[in-house]
């Protein structure tokens, strides 16, 4: 029947074939609809979207640009409603403004871009008939946080000399969050948001630490430094230290100030996903998305309080301020067999052991030659000093709610094995790695606070006909091709869903599901593809619907708002708009059963 297909429970659908169609393609028997688009008003008083007359004021009350991470939280007492939280990673001015002159942005354009960054909170309503979701405009929980909203720095580095600026001599209050890529949802009902490529907003970097974090020595592409001197490192050397953190937001309290958690370290945070220890302490897994950068975890010293009482909520908002930050070191068990081609080692698996190297606990540094404050603010340098394992761009991470095993998307690394760079190792086994891999990590004794773990590669991505691919040992003639895994999520049955960014196989990015247990472990199936130029983000797999954020549709070299490369989502002659999409079964039944 339509909508069915063989596969593990939750993955019984007919796979979508690779394609380059300028649309969202879903399996037979499934339908899709846009939940919310860039520019749709969500706050009281916000005007309807008018791309030809966009203003910063309007944008500050509207859904932001380039949606990435998504979270859906329950909303008690309001039937059929949930709270959607979205990251707005970055702006693409050339696609947002007709006639945009990259050399001479106007103040209004820059301020629109500030307002289009950040986070959105918007209540969504389920529809009776199908899996559609629609925004509830002007709901009191709806909220926009932008590049100019107030954020609080908390934890051991807050208030320190490295975080003080002329505008904030106390070093505790930052304006804005930038480049929020993926994130996480905590068991205590808050959301986490990784500030990723914050370096691109800062001009005139000069120090060694600026260099290690990728802050360039000249002007920035967006030229914000012309409009606010805090984006000029020469004038405000510490402002960039106030970005690159994990942000925690309480979506249930629209008056709360979101916090940047310094205890979780500063790097290009892709994502942050917690898991609780047996005694209730959160452990947060985090990747630094840079070629040859590291994978981390934070172990809180405090236990989560259950329930939603005011006391519990206040206590739980302190969990991520006290604990120990660790970085991962991975050792392969077949080093003699790793030749950089991706050929399986003689023991049949890319696998080995690992340990967590402590970097700092509160005010105590575990890294020789660095203070604790330096460890938190310049975490990459701490990882360098302790000899952490250089990974192929750690992107999103997700612990399995069923098995506790942690899945890390390592998206690609074209520089692996290049002159002067690290060569292949068992966890990153291909030189010139175009397609990426997914690591599966099992903590010793299944204790997330453990200091050691076992690991293996679950997937080595690419065209299954390419011998340098691996799908957990599943027959490769039965799987979909996949390239550049970025975001990962679990469905209610324990299957891993993977979205991609930057497909190197000549077709569009998409979303895939794969069983992680049982005899179908490794059977990877493509569930959807996205329009021209887009990456697939923020997947959420619920029983009755799948949500994806379609980020940067139409982002193709040479495309502009005047000469778009995509007509999505509204057809010819309409501006391209990053949007959130819901996918559901036409017959109203559950996804993939």
Q: Decide: is 410 part of the binding site for Ca ion (CB under 5 A).
A: no
State the binding partner of 333 from ligand FEO, Ca ion, none, CB within 5 to 8 A by kind. Ca ion
Residues 317-346 that bind Ca ion (CB under 5 A): 333-334, 345
The site map against Ca ion for 469-498 (x = CB under 5 A) is -----------------x------------
Given candidates 43, 136, 181, 460, which one binds Ca ion under the rule CB under 5 A? 181
101-to-109, 221, 311, 329, 359 alpha-carbon distances in Å = 10, 11, 52, 46, 45
Closer Cβ to ligand FEO, 62 or 487, answer by number: 487
CA 180 from centroid of its chain's CA atoms:
7
- 3-state class of 31 per DSSP? strand
State the binding partner of 239 from Ca ion, ligand FEO, none, CB within 5 to 8 A by kind. none
Q: Decide: is 89 part of the binding site for Ca ion (CB under 5 A).
A: no
Residue 236 backbone phi and psi in degrees, to 5:
-140, 75
The greatest distance separating any two alpha carbons of the chain, rounded to the nearest whole angstrom, comes to 66
Closer Cβ to ligand FEO, 248 or 395, answer by number: 395
Least distance from ligand FEO to the Cβ atom of residue 289, Å: 4
Closer Cβ to ligand FEO, 200 or 331, answer by number: 200
Q: Decide: is 126 part of the binding site for Ca ion (CB under 5 A).
A: no
Closer Cβ to ligand FEO, 321 or 486, answer by number: 486
Closer Cβ to ligand FEO, 228 or 395, answer by number: 395
Least distance from ligand FEO to the Cβ atom of residue 181, Å: 3
On whether the CB atoms of residues 87 and 181 are closer than 8 A, the answer is yes
Least distance from ligand FEO to the Cβ atom of residue 266, Å: 16
State the binding partner of 196 from ligand FEO, Ca ion, none, CB within 5 to 8 A by kind. ligand FEO
Least distance from ligand FEO to the Cβ atom of residue 113, Å: 17
Closer Cβ to ligand FEO, 225 or 290, answer by number: 290
Of 271, 248, 73, the residue nearest 177 (C-alpha): 248
CA-only gyration radius of the chain, Å:
23
On whether the CB atoms of residues 180 and 194 are closer than 8 A, the answer is yes
Angle at 194 between CA 168 and CA 22, to 5 degrees: 125
Closer Cβ to Ca ion, 40 or 486, answer by number: 486
> Which residues in this chain contact ligand FEO in the complex, by CB under 6 A?
89, 181, 196, 270, 289, 395, 486
Q: Decide: is 451 part of the binding site for Ca ion (CB under 5 A).
A: no
Pairing of strands 323-332, 437-443: unpaired
Q: Decide: is 351 part of the binding site for Ca ion (CB under 5 A).
A: yes
Least distance from ligand FEO to the Cβ atom of residue 450, Å: 27
Instruction: Report the 10 Å Cβ neighbour count for 127.
Output: 13
Residues 263-292 that bind Ca ion (CB under 5 A): none
- Give kind and range of the element (H or E) at residue 112: helix 107-116
Sign of torsion, CA 90 94 97 100?
A: positive
Nearest-angstrom CA–CA distance, 116 and 147:
8
- 3-state class of 98 per DSSP? coil
Residue 250 backbone phi and psi in degrees, to 5:
-100, 100
> The tokens of 363 are what?
């005010």
On whether the CB atoms of residues 584 and 545 are closer than 8 A, the answer is yes
State the binding partner of 89 from Ca ion, ligand FEO, none, CB within 5 to 8 A by kind. ligand FEO
State the binding partner of 491 from ligand FEO, Ca ion, none, CB within 5 to 8 A by kind. none
On whether the CB atoms of residues 82 and 123 are closer than 8 A, the answer is yes
Least distance from ligand FEO to the Cβ atom of residue 214, Å: 13
Closer Cβ to Ca ion, 92 or 501, answer by number: 501
Can you give the three-state secondary structure of 31-67, one letter per residue?
A: EEEEEEECCCECCCCCCCCCHHHCCHHHHCCECCCCE
DSSP state, 23?
S
Peptide bond into 226 cis (omega under 30): no
Closer Cβ to ligand FEO, 269 or 275, answer by number: 269
Given candidates 93, 250, 501, 590, which one binds Ca ion under the rule CB under 5 A? 501
Residue ranges in contact with Ca ion by CB under 5 A: 181, 333-334, 345, 347, 349, 351, 486, 501
């Amino acid at each position: 029947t339509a909508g069915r297909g063989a596969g593990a429970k939750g993955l019984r659908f007919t796979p979508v074939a690779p394609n380059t169609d300028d649309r969202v393609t879903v399996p037979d028997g499934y339908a899709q609809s846009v939940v919310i688009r860039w520019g749709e008003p969500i706050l009281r008083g916000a005007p309807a979207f008018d791309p030809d007359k966009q203003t910063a004021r309007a944008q500050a009350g509207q859904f932001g640009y380039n949606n990435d991470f998504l979270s859906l939280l329950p909303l008690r007492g309001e039937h059929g409603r949930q709270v959607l939280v979205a990251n707005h990673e970055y702006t693409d001015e050339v696609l947002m403004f007709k006639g945009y002159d990259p050399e001479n942005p106007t103040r209004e354009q820059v301020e629109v871009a500030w307002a289009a960054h950040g986070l959105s909170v918007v209540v969504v309503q389920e529809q009776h008939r199908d899996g559609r979701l629609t925004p509830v405009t002007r709901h009191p929980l709806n909220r926009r946080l932008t590049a100019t909203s107030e954020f609080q720095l908390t934890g051991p580095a807050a208030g320190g000399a490295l975080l003080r600026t002329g505008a904030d001599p106390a070093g505790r209050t930052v304006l804005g969050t930038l480049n929020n890529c993926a994130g996480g949802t905590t068991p205590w009902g808050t959301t986490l948001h990784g500030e990723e490529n914050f370096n691109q907003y800062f001009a005139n970097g000069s120090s060694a630490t600026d260099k290690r974090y990728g802050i360039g020595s000249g002007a920035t592409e967006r030229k914000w430094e012309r409009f606010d001197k805090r984006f000029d490192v020469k004038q405000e050397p510490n402002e960039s230290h106030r970005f690159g953190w994990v942000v925690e937001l309480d979506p249930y309290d629209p008056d709360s100030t979101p916090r940047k958690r310094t205890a979780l370290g500063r790097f290009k945070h892709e994502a942050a996903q917690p898991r609780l220890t047996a005694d209730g302490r959160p452990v947060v897994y985090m990747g630094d998305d840079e070629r040859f950068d590291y994978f981390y975890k934070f172990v809180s010293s405090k236990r989560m309080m259950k329930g939603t009482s005011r006391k519990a909520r206040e206590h739980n908002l302190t969990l991520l301020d006290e604990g120990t930050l660790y970085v991962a070191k991975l050792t392969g068990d077949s080093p003699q067999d790793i030749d950089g081609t991706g050929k399986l080692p003689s023991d049949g698996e890319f696998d080995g052991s690992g340990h967590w190297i402590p970097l700092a606990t509160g005010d105590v540094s575990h890294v020789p030659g660095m203070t604790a404050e330096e460890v938190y603010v310049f975490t990459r340098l701490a990882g360098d000093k302790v000899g952490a394992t250089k990974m192929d761009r750690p992107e999103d991470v997700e612990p399995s709610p069923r098995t506790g095993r942690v899945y890390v998307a390592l998206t690609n690394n074209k520089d692996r094995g290049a002159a002067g760079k690290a060569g292949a190792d068992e966890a990153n086994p291909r030189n010139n790695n175009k397609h990426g891999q997914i690591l599966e990590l099992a903590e010793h004794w299944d204790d997330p606070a453990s200091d050691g773990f076992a690991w293996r590669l679950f997937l080595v991505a690419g065209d299954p006909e390419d011998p340098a691919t691996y799908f957990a040992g599943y027959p490769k003639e039965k799987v979909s091709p996949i390239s550049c895994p970025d975001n990962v999520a679990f469905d209610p049955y324990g299957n891993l869903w993977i979205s991609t960014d930057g497909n190197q196989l000549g077709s569009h990015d998409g979303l895939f599901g794969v069983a992680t247990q049982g005899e179908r472990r490794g059977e990877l199936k493509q569930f959807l593809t996205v329009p021209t130029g887009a990456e697939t983000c923020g997947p959420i797999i619920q029983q009755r619907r799948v949500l994806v954020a379609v980020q940067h549709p139409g982002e193709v070299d040479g495309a502009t708002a005047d000469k778009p490369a995509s007509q999505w989502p509204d057809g010819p002659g309409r501006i391209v708009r990053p949007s959130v999409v819901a996918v559901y079964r036409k017959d109203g039944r559950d996804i993939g059963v």
